[in-house]
Each structure stands twice: as structure tokens, then as C-alpha cells.
A and B are shown apart, each in its own frame.
Chain A
Amino acid sequence: MKTSNTILMTVLISSAAIHFSACEPLKAEAPKNPIIAPKLQEFPLTDYYLVNNKMFLWPVESSPAVVTEAVRIGRAIDDLDTVSFAYSKEEKTLTTDLAAYLAIKEAIKDIEKKIKTLDTTIKGRKTLIATEEKKPMDKQNPTNLAKWKNELAKAEQDRAIEAQNLIDQTHQAAITGDQLDPPTVESPKGPKRERMEFLANDRVRVEAEGTAKVDRMIQIVDWYKTQPSSISFRMTAANPVVELNGWDLSDDAGSRNFSSETVSESGFETPNLGTITNITYTVLGGVIRFNLGVFETTTKLTGAEKAAAVQQGYETYEKFYELEKEEVRLTHEMQSLIKRGEMKEADKVRGRIADVQQKSMALSWNPDLREVYSFRVARHAYEKTLTDGRLFFAGDLTRRRNPKGSLCEGLERTQHQCMRKGSIKLVDRNN
């Protein structure tokens, strides 16, 4: 009896022990060896005034090869820009170091100009005198002849002085240059002076290469000939303000300015003035996001109405785009069913396509709103900032157009061909 009770209690206690002790699954830990992400730095809110380096868009149907080439060209232009900026910086240093030498060189240039002018004068006067002297004596004008001879003598005298000046200054330049920039075996003209010569010559090459690359880029992407001249961000926690100025969208409206501050105005005297909304700033990575609305120039919308239209347009497009993707998918599905002779199934899918189209038709977009551009730019090339001294931003933008608007009409395929993806690069200064 006693033993039995003990055993019973053991069983019961064991049950309870199991109940309370075994209620947790084994801790799951998946093996991991993640990709090392580039570390984002934190950039507290501050004001930025940025210069547009380049901005381009490509159609969403572009081939990967086009995108690859655009990315490569973009980076090549970046590299050339970096070289050009580095040359400018170096030239400034060299100019300071060789200031005295360069002043003499400038003086020499002036003397050379003077000599050139004097040579022209001498040549001219000699021609006049010779022509006059070839005439019969009775036909000659002694007054003019005397005047020209005087002028010739004066010019020759001045030229001799300037020629001596040139010799002196050139000699002085050589002395000063050698003092400031002692020649070496490797650089007989002086390393600084040789470097300046190289920079001047190579800048021509860099600029030519840059121009060629931009020309190629223009051929493969949508490139705004008159790009936004500047984008400024005044980021304060209470009231972030974004302005984008001087953007010619290649329409009749000319250069446009956009600002997020205009939304508080009751009306717009300048129809071209666009609206920027939905501004956010993320400290980690220094990420700035905003939507920019482009309106018809005839619009009578107030700032607040414009802001609301931009927000609605953005959301509408996203819904429209999802529905359109669904329609494309279903259409493919229906076509494959028809091909296999499964007509009953195909009819079902046709019904679903009709539902999707109906939903799409019900979406509305303010007719005054022509386009919405969504920007996302972030601080970039941190290390380059340390060496180069400039602040860089890189990012992307998406253009969404009224899917039912006139700018999207006549497209053979899906309406979202109106969409453009793009790339933008900004910098706080270029020289």
C-alpha cells in the first residue's frame, strides 16, 4: 500500500513535471553567413544645396543591355567628373604655389600680345609706305608718308623695347620659376610647371570624353537637355522644405521651379510652379524621399489641391499598375488555355480579366496633374567625400504619368510604358 502510493505519486508528479518542463520547443537557429552590407552612416538633419550632376530616365521596357550601358556610362561620367574636379583642385594649389611665376607668365602673355599688335602695325605701315612710294612723285602724299614713317619708327622702337621686356621677363620667369619650382632630372622644366602643363592638356581630353559619353547617353535614355539646375533641401524636423529649380521638361512651359513650400499658398500665380509633397528624411544613410507633381499649365488648382492631387495620383498609379500587371498575367493565362483548347477555363479567366479592367476604369486621376516624379536620393560615396571634399548624393526616380492621360495614349502595349525609371546624381559643388 505504502509502496503503491509512493509509485502513484511518482507517476503523478512526473506527469506534472513533464507538463511544466517540456513546454518549449528547441530554439531554432538557422545557419547564417550573410552578405556584408555596405555600412550606412548617420547624417543628422541639415540643409543641403545641391547641384544636379545628371539625371536621366529610361522606359521600363528597356532591355537590360540598355540599363547596363546607362549605368556604366553614368559611372564613367562620374569618374571623369571626379578627375576634372581633382584637376581643378590641383590647379588651385599649383597656382598658389607658383603665384609669382604665373604673374610673370601673365605679364609675358601681355607683352607677347603687345608685340603681336606692334608687328601688325609695323607690317601695315610698311605696306602703306611701300605702296605710297611706288606711286609717281607727283601722286605721292608726303604728309601721309611722313606720318606713317613716324608711326613705323615709333612702333619699331616700341617693339624693340617690348622685345627686350620679353627677354627680361622670360629670363625673370625662368629664375622665379626655378626658385619656386626647382627643376629636377625627371622634370627639367620643374615638376609643378610640368604638372600644370599636363593638367591643361589632359583637361581637354577629359572634357572631350565626357561630351562623347553624354552624347551616347542621350541616344539611349530620356535625357532632359535642360536639366534641373539645382535641388536644395532645407531639412528641419518641423518643416522640411525641398526645392528643385530650373527644370525644362522639354515642353512649351519652359523652365519650371518646384517647391514644397507652395502647398501652403492659397493659389498659384505661376501655373508652372509645381508641388513637392511627401518629404521624408532618414538619418541612417541620409535618405531623402519626396514626390514631385507636374501640372498642366492651365491648371487653376490651389497649392493644397495640388498637394492632394499628387498624393492621390501616386496612390492611384500604384493601384493601376498592380491591376495592369494582373491583367497582363491573366491575359497570358487565358491565351495559354485557349491554345490548349480549354475553353471553359479560358472563359473563367476572361471573366476575371473583365473584373480587373472594371476596377482599373474606376480609378481616378486629377486631369490637371500630368506627371508625378518620386525621388529617393541618399548620401553616397562617403570615402570619396573624405578625399574629394564634396558631398555626393545618388538615387533613383520614377516617373508616373496619368495612365489615362493624353501623354499615354497610342501605346501599343501596356499603359505602364508611360512609366520611367531613372537615376539621379547630385553634388554640393562642381568646382
Chain B
Amino acid sequence: MIRSILVVFALATHSAMALDLRAPFELESTKVLPKKIRNPRFKNVFTSITGRFSGDGIEQPLGQRLNKTVSWNDVINAQPTQADKDSIVGILNDAGLTDLNASPGQTSGVVNTYAQVMAPVLAYGVTDSYTLAVAVPIYTVRVDSDAGFIRAGQGQQFVDQAASVNVEKGNEAAGKLNNAIQEKLKRLGYKPIEDQTLNVLGDLRLVGKYLFYQDEIKTLTLKHEATLPTGRTPDPDNVLAIPIGDGQWDAGLSLITDVKLAPMIRLNAFGGYIAQLPATMTRRLPTSPTDSLSADKEGVIVDLGDILVGGTSVNYEVQGSPFSIGVGYQFQRMAKASVKDGVFESSRYRLLENELPVRILHSGLVMAGFSTVDMYKRKKFIAPIQANLAYSRALAGVNATTNSMLLAELVLFF
């Protein structure tokens, strides 16, 4: 019985990583710790992110935004002075290229992200029906990125023409077009795109669970949680910044129920609401609906959208063995953010809000657990230890990343 109580203390019903939604990495449960039982856990989560769902729910590569057809107008507008703009037009005219909507080529980009989250969690049974836990996630994030250029005939023609006037200028023009993404970032004051590795603390989470109803068939638990903004907020100068933290306080409340369908089969369902409280964060203010890059940045008050989360799962404990397995589904919806106007014109804050749109994520999870608690109690094992492995992945969504996650967890009891 103790084993079943101690199977899982679900710390993260939602796994929103600050500004975005992520697939969960464990199943929800109503279970709480017995009074005065301490429960240190070590969670090791691995996730690889290579894509995201677009606004119309289509899965796209993470670097999709870097894949853009460049027009001559884009090239001209990127020049710092009118004289430089005129020089470009002059060379184009000279080469007989008069359609400024035509293209010299296309930028290309690929971004792959891998994150490992090591989260030591300490849970404590305050009473037999109330358990409190604190989690301190530590992120190791690797971003591997690459940007390129795919030339069109006009791009080569332009460079050849420029080189006929001045070889070095032609060489420079080719270099700038071939590095169009990096050049644009440099012009707008961003750091260049490059591989990154981060080792940082995430947002600290406090979770309390109160078991307020229990009978032989079902149990009901109320879970409350608070997220402290201890994680690093996205660097506005880094176009591939990983949002470890969002700089906001979050407060959430969930209702969880478990229903015993058979002696070893448990059905879980839960629903919750997480309010993300407004906070100041430094953001770039877009100038156009089609381009989020901008030279202007400002400390703006952002109220990220609140999160609705719900899900269900079935857990089966293999009779007479230390194994358990489970499968679950989770739904998350984060509302559109609102941004308070600052020193720039209002429309630019609306554009920024559009950068933080409604996000929806449907995800599925399977997990397998192994526990020695029963064996320990029967003095057939040296210590009460539990190990869990879980795999989850995003199934569908809107404006959310299409990550999959793997959790390896070791749990101790004393």
C-alpha cells in the first residue's frame, strides 16, 4: 500500500517553460506523502527541440523563420545611408535588373536545441493529507545553429556587375548577401547566430498538495503551486535565446482526481489554471508584422497569458511485481500576452503581443516505474528506491514547440 502511495508525487502538471509550452514529463497523481516522510527525488529530463507548430498547426522546423526569400527591396532597405541605397540601385540598373521585388536569393537556417534539465526535488509530508515540495531545475541547453544563403540568378548577376566596377566591392557584396542573416543581426545590434551552451538555474517551483477526499474508489487532491522568477530571462540581443525563465511570478491551482477502475488500474484526471503575473522584461519591439527583428529594445511590462491545463492518464501496477506502467494525455493552452505601452508608438507593442500569441499543445506520455518499496518492507531489498522512465511528445498544437522528452528519475524515501 505504501508503495502505491509513494509511486509518484507529480511536481509538474504543466511543463510550460516560461514563455512557451512544452510536453509534460510525468503523469499527474493525487498521491501525497505520509506525515514526516521525506522524499528526495532526482529528475533528469532530456529534450530535443527541432521544430514548432505554426499558427495554423502545421509542424515546421525551428529555424523556419530564418528561411526567407530576400527581395532587392529588402537589400536596399538594409543599407545604412541613402547613398548606399542608391549605390545598390545604381548597380542593379546597370545590370538591367529593374524589378526591385525580384530576389537575389533566399536565406536558410537550421536550429536544433537540446536541453537537459536536472531537477532535484525535495518533498515532505507535512501532514498525512498535505505534502509540500520544492524543485530547483538546473538547465543545460545546447543550441546548434547554422545559417546560409541559396542564390538566385539575379544575386550572381548583381555581384558580377558590382565586381566589374570594383572587385573588392563585388567581393564584399557577395559576402554580405551570403551572410544576409548575420549581417542583418549585426546591423540591428543582435549577437551573431552561433552555437550556444547554457548552464543555468531555472525558475524555482513550490508545490503543495492537499488530499481532501478519499474513499476506496476515488481520491481528490487540490494542488497549488508558485513559480519564482529565478531563471534567466531571454537575452533580447540573442535571436536564438532560450527562454529558461520569463521573469514573472506564476500562481496555479489544480484539482486532481484518481479513480480506481480495478485493483491495479487507476484512472487520473486533472484540470488547473496557472496565472502568470505581469513583470518587466527587456524586449525588442518589432516594426513590421512580418519581421520580428528590430533595432529598438525597451524594458516593457509584459503579462504573459495565463495557462489552462488538463489531462487524463491510466496507470497500471503489475500485480506481485515492482513494475508499474502508465499512459496519459495532456492539453495546455496559454493565452495571448498583453504588453503595456511604453515610449514607442502603440502599434509596436501590439506587434510584440502578436509575437506572444495563443499557444496550444496536445501531448502524450508513457511511463514505466520500478519500485523496491514493497521489497524493502519485506526486507528483501536494502533500501526503498524508485526509478521511473518516461517518454512524452507533442502530438499537435499551435505556436508551441514540437519537443519530445525523456525522463529518468531516481526517488529515495526516508
Contact = CB atoms under 8 A, between A and B. Distances in A.
Given A15-B387, A25-B48, A65-B93, A4 B82 contact: no
A382 B170 CA distance: 13
A74 B113 CA distance: 51
Contacts of A1: 375, 380-381
Interface string B17-31: 000000000000000
The secondary-structure label for the interface of chain A is mixed
Given A25-B112, A37-B175, A345-B346, A421 B87 contact: yes
A35 B104 contact: yes
Interface residues of B, number: 74
Interface stretch (B126-134, B160-168, B230-238, B330-338): B160-168
A219 interface: no
Contact of B148 (A11, A34, A379): A34
Interface stretch (A55-63, A120-128, A307-315): A55-63
Contact of A62 (B83, B111, B147, B406): B83
B74 interface: no
Interface residues of A, number: 67
B399 interface: no
A37 B44 CA distance: 48
B145 A28 contact: yes
A342 B345 contact: yes
Given A14-B408, A35-B156, A67 B90 contact: yes
Given A38-B170, A64-B89, A333-B345, A28 B111 contact: yes
A30 B114 contact: no
Nearest to A4: B322
A12 B387 contact: yes
Nearest to A376: B168
Given A18-B406, A37-B159, A38-B163, A32 B148 contact: yes
B140 interface: yes
A72 interface: yes
Contacts of A379: 167-168
A149 interface: no
Given A19-B408, A35-B178, A37-B178, A25 B142 contact: yes
30 contacts: A4-B322, A8-B372, A12-B410, A14-B389, A15-B408, A18-B44, A18-B406, A22-B406, A24-B142, A28-B112, A28-B146, A31-B150, A32-B150, A34-B149, A35-B104, A35-B155, A35-B174, A37-B170, A37-B175, A38-B160, A40-B168, A60-B81, A60-B86, A65-B93, A349-B345, A379-B167, A394-B165, A394-B167, A419-B83, A421-B87
**5 closest Cβ contacts across the A-B interface?**
A37-B174, A64-B89, A32-B148, A15-B408, A25-B114
